[in-house]
Structure 1
């Protein structure tokens, strides 16, 4: 389960059904800015590509973006802790 979805579930919120809907809801609630939201949605798209595409060049392209994804994931974890979801 996606960390944001899990945080919403633990807090009793039941409208976060997919990873992208969770990201959009987190943005709507004011916990993410537009740039972070776009980056997280791109990360989800990349994850989906790796599940359905088996081309080395695509994998390398996605891998090259990992260094951008790690800080935003750390930021999400801190935000979830800050607002008391975990």
Structure 2
């Protein structure tokens, strides 16, 4: 479980940086863009923690974020609605990497608070599951 706890710690730290900006009501363009950048690396840390957790705790392999999300739902780490939101989050993360425009940036920023809450819940569940028995 050492690797899982290490990945969870990295993801929690990344999430903390996202939370600093994700809930701003009227961010400047610079703050919005910084929040989106933080979302990108937080999502990466989140899904990689999920991947390692699934491998070490459940014996399941997930080579992609969406596969990890689907498996997390199957093993009970995410409820169905949470998994749907997480899949949307994965799509938004892909959009931030491949496309940039003002309208898209505003739309994604508006969803960051919900994504941060979801990642926090799931990371908390993995931390509870990751404690030695």
Give the stretch that moved more between structures: 11-20 or 72-81. Answer: 11-20
Aligned equivalent of 1:72, options 118, 125, 128: 118
Give the number of equivalent residue pairs: 86
| Partners of 1:11 and 1:85 within 8 A in 2 | no
Higher helix content, 1 or 2 = 2
Give distance in 2, aligned partners of 1:27 and 1:83. Answer: 15
Say if 2:89 is the partner of 1:43. yes
Give distance in 2, aligned partners of 1:85 and 1:51. Answer: 34
1:14 is displaced (CA, Å) by 4.7
Tell me the TM-score normalised to structure 1 length: 0.87
Tell me the TM-score normalised to structure 2 length: 0.58
Please name the residue that 1:62 is paired with: 108
Give distance in 1, aligned partners of 2:79 and 2:108. Answer: 23
Structure 1 runs (4+) greater than 6 angstroms displaced: none
Please name the residue that 1:21 is paired with: 67
- Mind listing any 5+ residue stretches in structure 2 that lack a counterpart? 1-44
Larger CA Rg, structure 1 vs 2: 2
Give distance in 1, aligned partners of 2:122 and 2:77. Answer: 9
Please name the residue that 2:21 is paired with: none
**RMSD after superposition:** 1.9
| Partners of 2:54 and 2:72 within 8 A in 1 | no
